[in-house]
Structure 1
Amino acid sequence: MCAKTSLNEKRILIFSALLASGFAVGGLILGVLVGSLVIVFDGVYSSVSLVLTLLSLAVSKYIQNPSRQHFPFGKAVLEPVVIAIKGSVILIIVSYSLYSAIIALFTGGREVDASIATLFGIVNVLGCGYAWWYIAQKSKRFSSGLITAEAKQWQMDTLISVAVTLGFIFAWVMTLSPFEEYSVYADPVMMILMSFYFIKVPADMLRESIREMLMMSPSTDILEVVDKEVCALDKQSVQHIELDAVTKVGRELRISVNIHSNDKQLAISDIKRTQRILKHKLSKLSLDLRLNLNIAS
């Protein structure tokens, strides 16, 4: 990874950590004061996001320092490890919150000051929405699994805040209607609905990171681009070129290509030309390319 990308990654993660700390403290304090399970969940989620962001920041810095003795194939694998930890922790939080909400639902619900909670929700929506937009824009410019995972964290936080705000507005409207006695169930019902919806995001993060750690095939989009460029180069080349293997580990795209030659000798210049063309063609993927050319008879 180039120095500029590394510096931007560090700045984005620091920005995310500072913002998450503010939402974490605010959510926990207000959630306890108004007695809202949903706001407490939002505060806990922000607290965990802060810890996970600091972890991402530490790993991002560690990956930059070469260590061939302990990591002979590089430290790219640390990126999916961190994302797997993030996905697992968020999954545990969502699962526990779902359990707590179900218990609250069957034990009389929870009475919440909807007016204060709604105001907090609006502030949260604006703050989290800006963080999500800002980091998502940066992730398009700089290829980094850590930044992408950070954007997903803020996406979840933004959608949670939107759901919380709408839920509390609904609960406040209920207090003004003949169904006021049922308003105490608004908080746990919101938590249950949110849990079922948001459980997909950390599950996907965990699944994708495990695939990378096991060095399985990358996404279909990446495979199609690589296969297309290798096939195009094969038609232009005297030698037969075929794709052997493709895997993505963190920000690294590892490609193995077989070069078949009928001649007993293969010019080094031809091999270097093939390597140079492939690297140029695949630069559009914005990943650190690790290209391995195999000479096959």
Structure 2
Amino acid sequence: MSVHTKFNENRALAFSALFASIFAGGGLIVGLLVGSLVIMFDGVYSLVSLLLTLLSLVAARYIKKPSDAQFPFGRALFEPAVIAVKGAVILLIVSYSLYSAIGAMFTGGRAVDVSIATAFGVINVIGCGLAWWCMLSLRNKHFSGLIDAEVKQWQMDTLLSVAVTAGFVVAWLMTLTPLAKYAVYADPMMMLLMSFYFIKVPFGMLRSALREIFLMAPSKEICQTVDQTITVTNKDSQQEIELAGVVKVGHELWVDVDLHVDDSSELISRDDIEQARQRIETHLSSLPLKLQLTINIAS
């Protein structure tokens, strides 16, 4: 990853941390004042997002260090490790919120000042939506697994804010009808529904990161691109080239290929190996990943 790209990654993470700190403080204060379970969850989620973003900033600085005796294959595995921690922590928060919402539903609900809650919700929707849009724009310009994780965090926060605001509007309308006594169940019911919906996002983050940590096969799109590359390279090569393995680790793509040499033929030259390497690197240059290519000579 280039120095310019790393600079943009650090800038994006710092921007995300600043916004997360603002929403964390606001959510916790307003949630305690109005007694809302979902607003407090939003504040806690933003606070944890801030801590996780700071963790990403530290990891981003550490990952860019070159290989050494302690890490001979580089530090690319730190990126999925950080994303796995993020996914696990967010999953725990959502799970605990689900538990709290179920408890509130069976203990008479929660009375909430819907006017203040609704006003805060509108401000939250605008702010979180702006942060999500900015992070999405930065990810599209400078792709990074860490920035992508931040995009998912802000996506969850924005959708959460929209759902919370809509729920409080419904709760306020209920107070104007004969169903007013059931308005106290609006807050835990919103938390219940959102927990079931949002639990899939951190679960997906955790599953994807663990696949990289355990060096499992990458996405079908990446596998197809690499397979097509090997097929095209084989047509232009005098030796048979076979794909031995491919994995994605953070922002790196590790590709191992076997260059088969007939025992009856002469030894393969260095030029042939370099030509095969250049062809493979050229075909895979379209992927937004740093290629780590290993060519093995097999008879």
TM-score class, shorter-chain normalisation, is: over 0.9
Shift in Å, 1:233: 1.1
CA contact (8 A) 2:79 2:146 kept: yes
TM-score, normalised on structure 1? 0.98
Q: How does 1:141-180 map to 2 (within 5 A)?
A: 141-180=141-180
CA distance in 1, matches of 2:266, 2:170: 77
Shift in Å, 1:67: 4.9
- The residue number in structure 2 matching 1:184 is 184
- The residue number in structure 1 matching 2:286 is 284
- The residue number in structure 2 matching 1:267 is 269
CA distance in 2, matches of 1:13, 1:183: 39
Q: Please tell me the residue identity of whatever aligns with 2:275.
A: R
Instruction: Tell me, yes or no, if structure 1 residue 88 matches structure 2 residue 65.
Output: no
SS at match of 2:44: helix
Instruction: Tell me, yes or no, if structure 1 residue 258 matches structure 2 residue 240.
Output: no
Q: Please tell me the residue identity of whatever aligns with 1:142.
A: H
- The residue number in structure 2 matching 1:125 is 125
CA distance in 1, matches of 2:140, 2:275: 30
- The residue number in structure 1 matching 2:137 is 137
Task: Give CA deviations for 1:242-261 in whole Å, capped at 9, x if unaligned.
Answer: 11100011111000011112
- The residue number in structure 1 matching 2:29 is 29
Task: Give CA deviations for 1:124-179 in whole Å, capped at 9, x if unaligned.
Answer: 11111111111112112223110111111101101111110111111111111110
- The residue number in structure 1 matching 2:55 is 55
CA distance in 2, matches of 1:51, 1:108: 34
Shift in Å, 1:122: 1.1
CA distance in 1, matches of 2:130, 2:258: 47
Structure 1 unaligned segments of length 5 or more: list them.
none
CA distance in 2, matches of 1:211, 1:73: 18
Shift in Å, 1:270: 1.3
CA distance in 1, matches of 2:183, 2:98: 19
TM-score, normalised on structure 2? 0.98
- The residue number in structure 2 matching 1:217 is 217
- The residue number in structure 2 matching 1:249 is 249
CA distance in 2, matches of 1:289, 1:21: 36
CA distance in 2, matches of 1:284, 1:65: 24
Q: Say which is worse superposed, 126-135 or 147-156, in terms of deviation.
A: 126-135
Q: Please tell me the residue identity of whatever aligns with 2:292.
A: R
Structure 2 unaligned segments of length 5 or more: list them.
none
- The residue number in structure 2 matching 1:239 is 239
CA contact (8 A) 2:67 2:73 kept: no
Shift in Å, 1:69: 2.2
Q: Please tell me the residue identity of whatever aligns with 2:268.
A: L
Give % identity.
59
SS at match of 1:242: strand
Shift in Å, 1:212: 0.5
SS at match of 1:284: coil
How well do the aligned residues superpose, as a CA RMSD in angstroms? Answer: 0.9
Structure 1 residue runs of 4 or more that deviate by more than 3 Å after TM superposition? none
Instruction: Tell me, yes or no, if structure 1 residue 295 matches structure 2 residue 297.
Output: yes
Q: Please tell me the residue identity of whatever aligns with 2:167.
A: G
CA distance in 1, matches of 2:180, 2:53: 41
Task: Give CA deviations for 1:210-257 in whole Å, capped at 9, x if unaligned.
Answer: 111111101111111111111111122211111110001111100001
Shift in Å, 1:7: 0.1
SS at match of 2:110: coil
Q: Please tell me the residue identity of whatever aligns with 2:46.
A: S
Task: Give CA deviations for 1:178-219 in whole Å, capped at 9, x if unaligned.
Answer: 100000000000000000000000001111111111111011
Shift in Å, 1:275: 0.7
CA distance in 2, matches of 1:126, 1:229: 44
SS at match of 1:5: helix
CA distance in 1, matches of 2:6, 2:152: 19
SS at match of 1:247: strand
Q: Please tell me the residue identity of whatever aligns with 1:114.
A: V
